Amino acid sequence: MIYRDKHICNTFGLEAVADLYIEYCSVEELSLDFARAREPFLHVGGGSNLLFASPRFEGTVFHNACNAIEVISQDADSVLVRVGGGVVWDFFVEWCVTRGWYGAENLSLIPGEVGAAAVQNIGAYGAEVKDIIESVETFDIDTGSERVFSREECRYGYRSSFFKTPEGRRFFVIAVVMRLSFKPVFNLSYGTLKQLPQEKLSLKGIREHIVATRQAKLPDPAEIGSAGSFFMNPVVPQTKFEELLAEYPDMPHYPAEGGVKLSAGWMIDRCGLKGIRRGNAGVYEKQALVLVNLGGATAEEILALAQEVIDVVNAKFGVTLHPEAQIVV
Ligand code: EPU
């Protein structure tokens, strides 16, 4: 289906209209409609990690509406499911929890769709989606052919993958194959999950705990516009970390590839920026990592606030924050 001048759904609640908008339910439909597309291209999921710097996207937006979930195979320990890129992520998590299948529960209530989840390697509460991904089915817009990527070929990192690189962008995610386990193995490595009482140690109990934690800390996109965490947690070299720890002994930190991962939310909070307001943009009062649209904010206001946060954190800690949200120019 092709639309002209269509609004692009985005959880920041910003005005964004695409010259052309192609929504497809199959590779066949995508291949047919692709002939009408004009560059630049932007492939969107639920629009929950995007900031539209301009109210008009003068190119073609693609949206995957493949909504099927099918069981491909199963063995004694696990089941393999193929999930359309257009399936709402949390619908899938609940679907797994209802069936008693383990692996997706820590990622409960993350906004967005399955295709975007596989591109960004969404993560929360000690888990990342890469942990359950077996392979990713894509459509190569340059050659018009399909290509399946194994998990290794996706080159997953913290909120990153091959699909986010300049060479990887030409592969549109059509469906994701995930493996869920029948074995009751929980991932309780993260903070508050460690203190979960015994009677809550079930798929349903963990999902409920995470849903409640997220609802308490993060804005509901239906009420307050945001893109979730606006910044990534920075990774700094060991020597820089030791310097900072000497000055801030209570600084949260986590082991990471190439150094130590710090908590951007904690640093922004320590700079006294939590809850500040600039025009209609603000730093969320319950989680400083989240920038919010307090009603009618413009992209300029949000971007200026983001720059202020980057500058203040840099001046205090000597660490540069980078946006996690994708800024569409
Ligand atoms: N903290 C503060 N003040 C704040 C926010 C956090 O002191 O305003 C402290 C917390 O007390 C805690 C530490 O910073 O010691 C980490 O905070 P939190 O547990 O809230 O997690 P986060 O690192 O800020 C990440 C993800 C979230 C995910 C949570 C839970 C990124 C960029 N963000 O946030 O993901 O839900 O962990 O696992 O990695 C998202 O990507 O949109 C998102 C919400």
For this structure, is 229 an active site residue? yes
Q: Would you say domain 220-328 falls under CATH 3.90.78.10? A: yes
Average pLDDT over residues 310-315: 98
Within 6 Å (CB) of ligand 1, which residues are found?
124-125, 190-191, 217-218, 228-229, 232-233, 252, 263, 265-266, 269, 274, 287-289, 324
**CB burial string 10-47: b at 16+ within 10 A, e below:** bbbbbebbbebbbbbeebeebeebbeebeeebbbbbbb
Catalytic residue among 155, 159, 170, 278: 159
Let me know how long the chain is.
329
Place of tokens 């070929």: 153
The predicted-structure confidence for 82-107, as pLDDT tens digits, reads as follows 999 999 999 999 999 999 999 999 99
- For the domain made up of 2-64, give the CATH fold: 3.30.43
For the question of whether the overall pTM of this predicted structure is more than 0.75, the answer is yes
Of all residues in the chain, the percent with pLDDT exceeding 90 is 95
* Percent of all residues in the chain with a pLDDT value above 70, rounded to a whole number: 100
Using pLDDT thresholds of 50, 70 and 90, give the confidence band for residue 156.
very high
What would the pLDDT profile of 47-67 be if each residue is shown by its tens digit?
Answer: 999 999 999 999 999 999 999
pLDDT tens digits for range 168-223: 999 999 999 999 999 999 999 887 898 888 889 999 999 999 999 999 999 998 89
- Note whether 129 and 230 are within 8 A (CB): no
DSSP 213-277: HHHHHS--TTTSEEEEE-BPPPEE-HHHHHHHHHH-TT--EEEETTEEEE-HHHHHHHTT-TT-E
Same fold, 2-64 and 69-213: no
Mean pLDDT of 293-319: 98
Q: Ligand 1 mean position to 26 CA, how many Å?
A: 36
**Average pLDDT score, the chain:** 96
Pick the CATH number of 69-213 from 1.10.10.10, 3.40.50.300, 1.10.287.130, 3.30.465.10: 3.30.465.10
The residues, any chain, with a CB within 8 Å of residue 293's CB and separated by 6 or more, are: 12, 13, 14, 224, 225, 226, 280, 281, 302
Q: Is 152 tagged catalytic? A: no
The arithmetic mean of pLDDT across residues 262-289, rounded, is 98
Of 10, 125, 229, the residue with max ligand 1 atoms within 8 A of its CB, to mutate for a pocket test, comes to 229
| Residue whose CA is at the smallest distance from ligand 1 atom 37 | 124
Pocket test for ligand 1, best of 192, 232, 289 (most atoms within 8 A of CB): 289
Terminus-to-terminus CA distance in the chain, angstroms? Answer: 25
Integer CA distances (angstroms), 244 to 232, 256, 273, 286, 316, in order: 18, 16, 19, 24, 10
CA 95 to chain centre: 19
Confirm whether 159 is a catalytic residue: yes
Give the tens place of pLDDT for each residue, 130-155: 999 999 999 999 999 999 999 999 99
Asked whether 135 and 177 are in contact (CB, 8 A), the reply is yes
Tens of pLDDT along 68-78? 999 999 999 99
Amino acid sitting at position 124: A
Q: Whose CA is nearest to atom 33 of ligand 1?
A: 229
Mutational pocket test of ligand 1: of 266, 268, 274, the residue with most ligand atoms within 8 Å of the beta carbon: 266
pLDDT at 303: 98
Residues forming a β-bridge with 81: 71, 178
Task: Give me the pLDDT at residue 192, please.
Answer: 84
Q: Where are the domains of the chain?
A: 2-64, 69-213, 220-328
Beta strand spans in 151-224 (E): 171-181
